[in-house]
Amino acid sequence: MASRLNPYISFAGDARQAMEFYRDVFGGDLTVATFGEYGTKEAGYADKIMHATLQTANGFTIMGADLPPGMEYSPGNTMAVSLSGDDATQLRGYWQKLSEGGTVSVPLEKQMWGDEFGACTDRFGVAWMVDIAGS
């Protein structure tokens, strides 16, 4: 297997909803393992997500999990997931779904470098950038 780089996103108890949302946005196959499946008996954590992977037909891989007991959720602004390419229809569709219910910091529109670009934070607090080449 070749090496690959993909986002791994931590959530504060809503990983299942977030990963199902990303499956609805991008399509693909979602696999989920809960803390309970691996023996966690702590109250309220058995049904939380220990590890989830979304594999899409376009080659995207998104991984995520609920933070385990004792780890503090501290969302930051040091990471964004970037989607780029030249399939304007597909990328605009992703943008529409990701920005719905979230916060748009840069509207998806033509930029000085010639591409259509937008930035948003989805309803789960994850930052996304979309760049449509040469639109």
75 pLDDT above the threshold of 80: no
Query: Do residue 57 and residue 27 come from a single domain?
Result: yes
List, in sequence order, the alpha helices (H) in 2-121.
Answer: 15-26, 88-99
SS3 19: helix
- Pick the more confident residue, 5 or 118: 118
The per-residue DSSP string of 42-91 comes to STTTTTSEEEEEEE-TTS-EEEEEEPPTTPPP---SS--EEEEES-HHHH
In a domain, 1, yes or no: no
Question: According to the model, what pLDDT value does residue 134 have?
Answer: 85
| Residues 87 and 124 grouped into a single domain | yes
Rg of the chain over Cα atoms, rounded to whole angstroms, equals 16
Q: Same domain for 59 and 105?
A: no
Report the CATH number that the domain containing residue 103 is assigned in CATH: 3.30.720.110
Last-in-domain residue among 66, 95, 116 = 66
The CATH number that applies at residue 38 is 3.30.720
- Please check whether residues 50 and 85 belong to one and the same domain: no
Range of the domain at 102: 81-132
Beta strands 127-132 and 116-121: pairing type?
A: antiparallel
Is the same domain home to 61 and 14? yes
Number of domains in the chain: 2
Task: For residues 62 and 106, state if they share a domain.
Answer: no
User: Is residue 34 domain-resident?
Assistant: yes
Which of 19, 36, 66 lies at the terminal end of a domain, its last residue? Answer: 66
How do residues 34-66 score in pLDDT, each as one tens digit? 998 988 777 788 999 999 999 999 999 999 999
Asked if the structure places residue 73 within a domain, the reply is no
Residue 104 carries which side chain, given as an amino acid letter?
V
**The predicted structure's pLDDT at residue 102:** 97
In sequence order, the 6+-apart residues with CB closer than 8 A to the CB of 8 are 63, 64, 65
Q: Give the pLDDT confidence of 104-114 residue by residue, as tens digits.
A: 999 999 998 99
Instruction: Report residue 31's pLDDT band, with 50, 70 and 90 as the boundaries.
Output: very high
Residues constituting the chain: 135
